[in-house]
Amino acid sequence: MPVSRRTLLSTVAAGSAAASIPAVLTAAGPAAAASPPGDVVGKISVGYQGWFSCPGDNAPIGGWWHWSRDRFQPPSPGNTTIVSWPDLTDLTHGYPTAYPNLGNGQPARLFSSYDQQTVDTHFRWMQQYAIDTAALQRFNPFGDEGPTRDAMAVKVRGAAEATGRKFYIMYDVTGWTNMQSELKTDWTTKMSALTASPAYARQNGKPVVCIWGFGFDDPGRPFAPGPCLEVINWFKAQGCYVIGGVPTWWRQGINDSRPGFGDVYHAFNMISPWMVGRASTLADLDSYYANANVGDYADCQAHGIDYQPCVLPGDLSSGHRRHGDYYWRSLYNMIRLGSQGLYVSMFDEFNEGNQIAKTAPTAAWVPAGSGIRALDEDGTACSSDYYLRITTDGGRMLKGQLPLTATRPTPPIVTGNPDPGPDPTRDLAAGRPAAESSHTQVYGAGNAVDGNPGSYWESANNAFPQWLQVDLGSATAVARVVLKLPPGWETRTQTLQIQGSTDGGSFTTLSGSTGRTFNPATGNQVSVTFTRATVRHVRVTFTANTAWPAGQASSFEVYAA
């Protein structure tokens, strides 16, 4: 197999200049952009591989696809392609491997992306952690992986629709000899049908397509500028908004980039330079900011192109992460620059160790003696969802919902505070995992904890009772819930009660069922206070609504007082 971007990891020198980092700035507003907010502009996007398979999952490709070097033998310390270990706690099904048992004695199992439950769980995480859009990776589908890739596209569509997330196709041209003709065939005969989905990402009213790999200086992508430009213009003629996944040094035509591609790059609607494997320290990130990103952004502004830089958590296997400080610096630098959107690389890339999906938090959750690093590899305890939580706060910072700060606000561990004196002004539910009895269309539970007053959760219609629930992470002292509806909605009364639980199974009543009036004249919000209780899960149950036959909430906030 030709060398792909997944193994294109040689660090390129970024120069020595590093911009000074102010400690705190005011809240960021929407960046000036060639395009208005849409499904990629103003949004957090993640690269989604969806490329893991296991024997017995019925995937057409067969074997341990992307888990093992020899996919027809089970993964083991001597036959593996991964450097990080996933946390399977939220998955009901896993596949036994030839690795030793985990440090806690449990069998070492891995997931299959081909299982619908895996895709559904991943997209539910995206919903819970306010990730807006997923870029589904699509390599040459005319080879043996084509049928599996086709099936994954259908699975992703279903999961995105169910969770209110957006997705789009991201073509990787690595090793794709006949890409100029076959890209068009694949789009016309297969992938364009996905744009009928309400979950398919659109920008400026156009379906989004990304092409990754034009202009790279390596044998896996030898294409000349002419064919590349022709492909971009063809997709634009189909009515698409086209993103270019380009080399780090695309503008200068040096290092990882070939010269002579200026017209190709400037034909894209959005440019997203690659950064994986380029920087290993915070100083490296600052140097790229000063020597590459600032100039990139200015060039895009001058040509009316949206800028979507790559942000990344760092290679866990190489010790880059620094318990989240690396990822936060990557996010902070690109937001202070004015970037129109952010591309997180990657969601599920356990092969290169730069995944943000739930990951083994300690040595107890990785195969014993395997040498695979857990999230606490530098001595700082981190929860398995830590990098998802950082992504939530990064997205809030991008959207101006969180002050722009160089200091990471996201704690490695969410510690409950049963003490009666925690910060009464902090919304304990912000960005936390949310659950629901049901939702309609794209109005999922995550909309109620995403900090956006315009997005909202709405239950299935004509089917009371319905509930909305948030997981605070651990037992925490709470005494008040604030519920809101979008500004401008007409007055309505919703009958609701508040309950709490320490285990998510058995609930006690914190505030009894009664009618609560939401009036736009007073902010369309209600505040429900109750006797302080120590709980982990807080649930609101709706049994009536005078304006619509469903439970509705744009914000579900929980406070200690």
Span 400-421, average pLDDT: 77
Q: Tell me the DSSP string of 94-160.
A: -EE-SSPPBTTS---EE--TTSHHHHHHHHHHHHHTT--EEEEEE--TTSTTHHHHHHHHHHHHHHH
| Cα–Cα distances in angstroms (integers) from residue 238 to residues 184, 192, 234, in the given order | 10, 10, 6
Q: Give CA–CA dist 135/171, Å, rounded.
A: 9
Of the candidates 297, 323, 296, 328, the residue with the CA atom closest to the CA atom of residue 312: 328
Cis peptide before 270 (omega within 30 of 0): no
DSSP string over 496-532: EEEEEESSSSS-EEEEEEEEEEE-GGGTSEEEEEEEE
The pLDDT-based confidence of 416 (bands split at 50, 70, 90) is low
Q: Find residue 118's DSSP bridge partners.
A: none
Instruction: Say yes or no: 399 and 480 in one domain.
Output: no
Higher model confidence: residue 6 or residue 391?
A: 391
Question: Is residue 228 situated within a structural domain?
Answer: no
Q: Which of 119-123, 254-258, 474-478 has the lowest mean pLDDT?
A: 474-478
In this structure, are residues 116 and 155 in contact, taking their beta carbons and an 8 Å threshold? yes
CATH number at residue 101: 3.20.20.80
- How far apart CA 323 and CA 84 sit, in angstroms, is 15
Distance CA 480, CA 532 (A): 8
Same domain, 77 and 193: yes
Who has greater pLDDT, 33 or 344? 344
Which residues are registered as beta bridge partners of 492? 518
Q: What is the pLDDT of residues 28-72, one digit of tens each?
A: 444 456 899 999 999 999 999 999 999 999 999 999 999 999 999
Which of 274, 279, 317, 323 has the alpha carbon at shortest distance from 296? 274
Residue carrying structure tokens 């989240």: 324
Tokens linked to 71: 């996919």
Residues 364 and 454 in one domain: no
Same structural domain for residues 459 and 497? Answer: yes
Domain boundary among 405, 423, 457: 405
Tell me the C-alpha distance between 152 and 327, whole Å: 28
Query: Is 551 inside any structural domain?
Result: yes
- The domain tally of the chain equals 2
Q: What CATH number does residue 546 fall under?
A: 2.60.120.260
Are 393 and 445 contained in the same domain? no
Query: Could you tell me if residue 555 is inside a domain?
Result: yes
Residue at 524 is within a domain: yes
Q: Tell me what pLDDT residue 377 has.
A: 93
Last residue of a domain, one of 384, 405, 426: 405
Report CA 460 to chain centroid distance, whole Å.
26
Q: How far apart are CA 491 and CA 499, in angstroms?
A: 25
Last residue of a domain, one of 351, 386, 405: 405
Looking at the fold, whether 159 and 287 belong to one and the same domain comes out as yes
Q: Are residues 343 and 387 in the same domain?
A: yes
User: Which tokens belong to 435?
Assistant: 């659950």
Contact yes or no for 151/60 (Cβ under 8 A): yes
The answer to whether position 193 is within a domain reads yes
Q: Residue 378 and residue 167: Cα distance in Å, rounded? A: 34
Do 401 and 463 belong to one domain? Answer: no
* pLDDT of 111 above 50: yes
What is the length of the chain? 561
Residue 343 lies in a domain: yes
Considering the domain architecture, whether residues 332 and 396 belong to the same structural domain is answered as yes
What is the SS3 string spanning 146-194? HHHHHHHHHHHHHHHHHHCCEEEEEEECCCCCCHHHHHHHHHHHCHHHH
* Residue-number span of the structural domain to which 142 is assigned: 26-210+268-405
Give every CB contact of residue 2 below 8 A, 6+ residues apart in sequence: 174, 175, 219, 220
Per-residue HEC secondary structure of 464-492 comes to CCEEEEEEEEEEEEEEEEEEECCCCCCCE
Nearest to 447 by CA among 341, 553, 334, 547: 553
The per-residue pLDDT for 6 is 37
**Which of the four pLDDT bands, split at 50, 70 and 90, describes residue 354?**
very high
For residue 250, being part of any structural domain is answered with: no
pTM: 0.75
Q: For residue 546, what are the contacts with CB-CB under 8 A and spacing of at least 6?
A: 492, 493, 494
User: What DSSP string describes 245-270?
Assistant: EE-TTTTTT-TTB-SS-HHHHTTSSE
CA triplet 391, 397, 403: central angle to 5 degrees? 135
Residue-averaged pLDDT of the chain: 91
Enter the DSSP assignment of 290.
I
CA distance 284 to 184: 38
Q: What is the mean pLDDT of residues 393-403?
A: 92
Residues 150, 282, single domain; the answer is: yes
Asked if residue 336 belongs to a domain, the reply is: yes
Whether residue 331 is predicted with pLDDT greater than 90 in this model: the reply is yes
Q: Alpha carbon 45 to chain centroid distance?
A: 6
pLDDT at 420 over 70: no
Residue 415: which pLDDT band, with cuts at 50, 70 and 90?
low
Higher pLDDT, 333 or 422: 333
Among 422, 462, 450, 476, CA closest to 542: 462
C-alpha 201/C-alpha 45 separation (Å) is 10
Residue 418 has pLDDT above 60, yes or no: no
Tokens 């936060």: give the residue: 328
Q: What is the C-alpha to C-alpha distance for residues 240 and 206, in angstroms, rounded to an integer? A: 5
Task: Tell me how far apart the 2 most distant CA atoms of the chain are, in Å.
Answer: 70
Verify that 451 and 396 share a domain, yes or no: no
Render pLDDT for 274-315 as a digit per residue (tens, 0 to 9): 999 999 999 999 999 999 999 999 999 999 999 999 999 999
Whether 384 and 477 share a structural domain: no
21: pLDDT strictly greater than 80: no
Question: Which tokens go with 158?
Answer: 């279903």
